[in-house]
């Protein structure tokens, strides 16, 4: 099972990013987060699991166990894998209602993230969030 959402929480990411003085160091940390993501098996890298609106290829699958949503995601870009880690820390292992209620924009604001991404990366990040929230709505 992914450690995002359990061992790595939004508060952990906010706190760790706060230790770094430069965005270059923060990007390195985000890329390192992406290295913690388990690779998505080839059979899940399908057109149906592709997240639309991302500059890079991003695949997202989910399962529901014991009333909680578990997301598995992967990308062909290192920074995007890291951004997936940031998002999964917020949503993974939570009931659908908590996914829908989580203040993702407030989280991104605390990270000071969106303004440090290119517009296309920011749009891709929002597309990932929208896909997760759509899944949560269908499971709620």
Q: Could you report how far apart the first and last alpha carbons of the chain are, in Å?
A: 22
Task: Return the H-helix or E-strand segment holding 64.
Answer: strand 58-65
Catalytic status, residue 104: no
Rounded to an integer, what distance in angstroms lies between the CA atom of residue 135 and that of residue 120?
Answer: 23
Name the active-site residue from 30, 33, 37, 54: 54
Phi, psi (deg, nearest 5) at residue 61? -130, 160
Tokens of 22: 């430069």
Phi and psi at residue 68, in whole multiples of 5°? -120, 150
Residues annotated as part of the active site: 54
């Amino acid at each position: 099972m992914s450690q995002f959402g359990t061992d790595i929480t939004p508060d952990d990411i906010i706190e760790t990013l706060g230790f770094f003085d430069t965005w270059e160091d923060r990007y390195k940390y985000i890329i390192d987060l992406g290295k913690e993501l388990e690779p998505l098996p080839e059979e899940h890298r399908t057109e149906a699991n592709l997240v639309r609106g991302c500059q890079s290829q991003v695949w997202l699958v989910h399962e529901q166990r014991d009333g909680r949503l578990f997301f598995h995601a992967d990308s062909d870009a290192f920074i995007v894998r890291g951004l997936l880690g940031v998002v999964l820390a917020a949503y993974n292992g939570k009931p659908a209602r908590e996914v829908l209620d989580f203040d993702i924009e407030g989280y991104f604001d605390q990270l000071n993230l969106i303004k440090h991404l290119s517009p296309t990366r920011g749009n891709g990040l929002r597309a990932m969030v929208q896909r997760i929230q759509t899944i949560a709505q269908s499971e709620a």
